[in-house]
Amino acid sequence: MTREPLSARLLASMYAPVKAVLKPVLGRFPTLNKACIALKERVREATRARTVVRPLRDRLIAEAGVDATHLFLVRWIHRGGADLETLNYLEALASISINGVTVIATFDGDSPWSDRVPDGVRFVAFGAAMRGLSWREKQSLLMGYLRAARPRVIHNINSELAYKTFCRFGSKLASHSDLYASVFCTDLDEKGEPGGYGIYLARCYAHLHGVFCDNENHLRELQDRYRIDGSKMHVHYQPIRTQVTRRAVPRREYLSVLWAGRWDRQKRPDILAKIAESCQEAEIRFVAYGSPLLDNEAAASMLQRAPNVDCRGTFNGLSSLPLDDFDVLLLTSQWEGLPNILLEAMSAGLPVLSSRVGGVAELIEHGVTGFLVDPFDDIERYESLLLEIRSDRSRLESIALAASKLVQHKHSWTSFEHALSTTPEYLRPEPR
């Protein structure tokens, strides 16, 4: 049985007699009263460390093991771009026969894509087990596990707990492990102010061995906003995991426009609703996939009432949709990294009309490999481009071909593996 540290035992034994002696005078001495309250809190923390945190740490050691060379700390493995990137890195490591890869999901939520984790990779969902712990307790738990496991590489992909642990224990962790983080885009709050994990990245940047991103634009943003050096930053354009096949599209009298994504503040379904309203007199029809979220009920109501919008509910990736029914994919996001859905659409030969945000311009050259709108909420520009495409669809074939070739070259597995090879210490299986 693990014994409680001496300091914790001393605190616990001292608290009651000290309080009994000082109780009559605490009210007259506020500073002394605060000291007693602080002592009480330290006793509580020490007790919980012994009775709650340490048993959970031991459980994590038992479930995740301590033999991994590469440890991934992720929020979860859900149905999004960050989750696809996690799977890409796992598959790349598996392809070069690196054994001892473990993934720990730190968020209290489901991981529906955990069944896509490659064979031989250990996946542990531990968020629910930490339910009820404070952030500091979670950090101490994770640090205790990392100190025991000592993996050669620790790769954080969107785990807030991992970022906070890097910030608090980064120096100690970096003494035995190479720390990496994957970043994607700058999230914006309701006032349009930057948010997301960037502030954590800036605080722990000195301890990181490398930062990976799927687009150059976001790395430049981070350097400018937080005044950090870019020498540790690497662009890893993500590969297309599955080739989506698309047959020849029949000639239609109307232009069929696909919109597919989360109905949230980032994807801006309200802009889609306004575009559809402005195009009601034109021979343009919209099909919207996705489901309403609480913060966009008004936009959902607008879309569901629009006579030229067909709302079809949730979907399981672009490959699950009848792409032959559409002429153009429309993306109206206010902010992005480099959306995987654009890669899939271009690979399938479906032309894209997108807002010029994030890393999208690294993929789309206006009029050559797709169409761009800047600023993201220029409704008249969306409308005019759709009308131009509707009146002359002959351009779409050449644009679709150029886009497909670009994706096949720039976003192939060969290109991804080559980018990884530029950080050889990430791939090296041996301990430091």
Instruction: Give tens-digit pLDDT for 355-409.
Output: 999 999 999 999 999 999 999 999 999 999 999 999 998 899 999 999 999 999 9
> What residue has token string 């722990």?
204
Task: Tell me the pTM.
Answer: 0.86
| 287 in Cβ contact with 325 (< 8 Å) | yes
* pLDDT at residue 165, rounded to an integer: 98
3-state secondary structure (DSSP) of residue 110: coil
- 4-25 mean pLDDT: 59
Given a cut of 70, is residue 242 above it in pLDDT? no
* pLDDT at residue 21, rounded to an integer: 63
Q: 299 phi and psi, to 5 degrees? A: -65, -40
- 320-324 mean pLDDT: 92
Count of helices and strands (H, E) across the chain: 15, 13
Neighbours of 181 (CB within 10 A): 26
Please report which helix (H) or strand (E) contains residue 229, including its range.
none
- 240-261 mean pLDDT: 78
On the question of a common fold for 65-239+414-427 and 255-411, the answer reads yes
CATH of 255-411, one of 3.40.30.10, 3.40.309.10, 3.40.50.2000, 1.25.40.10: 3.40.50.2000
Sign of the C-alpha dihedral computed for residues 125, 128, 129 and 134 taken in this order: positive
Which distant-in-sequence residues (6+ apart) come within 8 Å of 419 by Cβ?
Answer: 234, 235, 236, 237
- 67-87 mean pLDDT: 94
Say if residue 322 is preceded by a cis peptide, omega within 30 of 0.
Answer: no
Please report which helix (H) or strand (E) contains residue 153, including its range.
strand 153-157
Sketch the domain layout of the chain as residue ranges: 6-53, 65-239+414-427, 255-411
Neighbours of 123 (CB within 10 A): 20
Which of 364, 372, 359, 373 minimizes the C-alpha distance to 345? 364
CA distance 292 to 387: 28
pLDDT digits (tens, 9 = 90+) for 181-224: 999 999 888 888 888 899 999 999 999 999 999 999 999 999 99
* pLDDT at residue 282, rounded to an integer: 94
pLDDT digits (tens, 9 = 90+) for 117-155: 999 999 999 999 999 999 999 999 999 999 999 999 999
* pLDDT at residue 88, rounded to an integer: 96
CA distance 425 to 420: 10
Which distant-in-sequence residues (6+ apart) come within 8 Å of 231 by Cβ?
Answer: none
* pLDDT at residue 97, rounded to an integer: 81
CA distance 353 to 346: 11
> What residue has token string 């047959």?
247
* pLDDT at residue 2, rounded to an integer: 45
Instruction: Kindly give the residue spans of alpha helices, DSSP state H, lying in 227-296.
Output: 269-278
Given a cut of 90, is residue 227 above it in pLDDT? yes
* In CATH, 65-239+414-427 is 3.10.129.10: no
* pLDDT at residue 80, rounded to an integer: 85
Say if residue 375 is preceded by a cis peptide, omega within 30 of 0.
Answer: yes
* pLDDT at residue 29, rounded to an integer: 61
